[in-house]
Amino acid sequence: MDDRYRAVTAAADVLRTRLPEAPRVAMTLGSGISEAFRLPEEGIRIPWSDIPGFPLPTVAGHAGDFWAGRIARMPVLIQRGRTHYYEGRSLDDVVFATRLFAVLGVKILIATNAAGGINTAYQSGDIVLITDHINMLGVNPLRGPNVDDLGPRFPDMSKAYAPSLCEMAKQAASDENIELKEGVYVAAMGPSYETPAEIRAFRALGGDLAGMSTVPEVIAARHAGIDVLGLSMVTNLAAGVDPNATLTHEEVIETTQRKGAEMARLLTAILTRMEEDVSS
């Protein structure tokens, strides 16, 4: 058995004993969003430090625990925060949680993040449905020997973000009267913010959003057969879009806390639609 798979299954064995029921959906709440998302009183929290081999976060705005319970009657496992490649971690660490979800039998991953707006039609606080991505990290979590227990050597990424889930998110946003924009997410290595020239290059490539996460998780999820829905919150305009702006992580956290309730309302509406779809 592959050592990476052995480590994930050992973690899953421990986590499974703490879960009230098997989760169908996993959600990753990115920078600041995990703090802004008001969790139901019912449910349990499980610190990542209780799970053997689980990489712990080092970045402000990432809570570092799981919440398990039901939202809109859907059994959900919420990852409050994430590990980033720029923290000096391996990509196996970055996608550890995603592979853990696969071993637990999760069918759908909702990945959220904070992002800089490349598209000049975006404003700070906008919520954007990710329709595709561009990997500018220069690395891929599937590099090296394939983990055959999780998925194939050459997974198809032509529909990385499930069209049916994208349509469900648009319908949920309409029901909640939330403006949901659409765009392509560009993942850069970080931790420095991009230069104006880099942002212009990303725009020329077709990018609408810039961030430092999510793409490795999506690749690992699709490798393991998990359907993905991606949502970004535009926390600032990317470098050069507003020539007078100075980019700070504090601005990212402030925006996600200010607009987090709207993101939470949208996520709950999406989960409600998922539950109805499963029940029908």
Give catalytic residue positions: 31, 62, 84, 86-87, 114, 212-213, 236, 249
CA distances from 42 to 12, 73, 76, 215, 260 (A): 22, 12, 12, 31, 20
CA 172 to mean position of chain CA atoms? 18
Residue partners of 127: CB distance under 8 A and separation at least 6: 173, 178, 179, 180, 181, 231, 232, 233, 234, 259, 262, 263, 266
Residue environment code for 94-113, b if the CB has 16+ CB neighbours within 10 A, otherwise e: bbbbbbbbbbbebebbbbbb
Amino acid at 100: L
Six token digits for residue 193: 């913010």
C-alpha span between 74 and 108 (Å, rounded)? 12
Cβ(54)–Cβ(5) under 8 Å? Answer: no
The pair phi, psi for residue 77, each rounded to 5°, is -120, 115
Longest dimension (CA), the chain: 54
